[in-house]
Amino acid sequence: MNYNLCDIKTIESLLKKHGFTFSKALGQNFLIDEKVCPKMAELLCANSKTGVLEIGAGIGVLTKELCKRAGKVCAVELDRRLYPVLSETLGDYDNFELVEGDIMKLDLKALLEEKFSSCNSVKVCANLPYYITSPVIMLLLESRLPISEIEVMVQKEAADRLCAEIGTREAGAVSVAVNYFGKAEKLFEVGRESFMPSPKVDSAVIKITLYSEPRYSVDDEKRFFTFIRAAFAQRRKTLVNSLSSSLGIPKGKITEALKNEGLSASVRAENITMEEFVRLYGLLY
Ligand code: SAH
């Protein structure tokens, strides 16, 4: 069946037929703007050799656009009430596969190997459930999965943070993590009226292009990110105070490392550049 999945009447009758009601806890805000999903799918630049992992298919509005352009699309969806809906709306696409489960709990490495062995590259595309935006992005990055691009819809404020330049006020721990693995850019903004139900905030689509070779090297990435989170944990405090109170590093040692980098003892995390973070970490551990 060829449904118009942006048409409110169509959506309502489809959802009614399957007895579905929206769950706020699962971050369910379905896209109803006719232009957004084709634009997202287009900007992913997928071809018949591209595999796409979607997170949270909903009723398949974005999935459908991805299926039209990519070689294979696997969509992870947690809410089992949507499975019969998806088999109805995407039944015509034989390059679509539903993966039942929680994106945070699946073995993604094994999943990608199993599903996309015949693809040249794998990209992630999603209108993310907002309650897990940062955890999902961090999971995708830190797991070092064989993916080349992550294009996701997130809250506008989250987009600004994720794409912030390091060493500016907008930057946070998550921006440093993104910069460590790739380059993030904001593609376009999407107003709250483009969703059903309409959320209280506006959104934006961002794209993270992952470096094929690591650009920075640290001895222990997990420990590096713990260090970064501690640096930004109390944004108003100086870096010396944040790091010493969160990680128990003596203040004198931190001041010494800052001095080594030509930085003043009163700098805050938002004043530090990516290269300086990497070197400070090296000096302190
Ligand atoms: N892509 C659809 C739906 C977006 S709403 C659209 O744009 O219209 C977010 C979707 O993510 C919902 O379908 C929700 O059920 C699903 N979801 C929420 N938490 C999830 C999780 N942990 N793992 C996988 N899917 C999840």
pLDDT digits 0-9 by tens, 79-92: 999 999 999 999 99
Phi and psi at 280, nearest 5°, equal -60, -40
Closest Cα partner for 78 from 98, 108, 51? 98
> Which band of pLDDT confidence, cut at 50, 70 and 90, is reported for residue 2?
confident
Q: How far is the CA of 198 from the centre of ligand 1 (A)?
A: 15
Name the nearest CA neighbour of 17 among 88, 76, 77.
88
Residue 92, classed as helix, strand or coil, is: coil
225 lines ligand 1 (CB under 6 A): no
| Average predicted confidence (pLDDT) for the chain | 96
Contact 78, 128 (CB under 8 A): no
H helix runs in the chain, sequence order: 8-17, 36-43, 61-69, 83-89, 108-115, 133-142, 156-162, 173-181, 221-233, 239-247, 251-260, 274-284
* Bridge-based pairing state of the strands 195-196 and 149-155: unpaired
Q: Over the stretch 91-100, which tens digit does the pLDDT of each residue have?
A: 999 999 999 9
pTM score, two decimals?
A: 0.94
pLDDT tens string 247-268: 999 999 999 999 999 999 999 9
Number of the ligand 1 atom closest to the C-alpha atom of 126? 1
The DSSP H or E segment spanning 211 is none
Cβ–ligand 1 contact at 194 (below 6 Å):
no
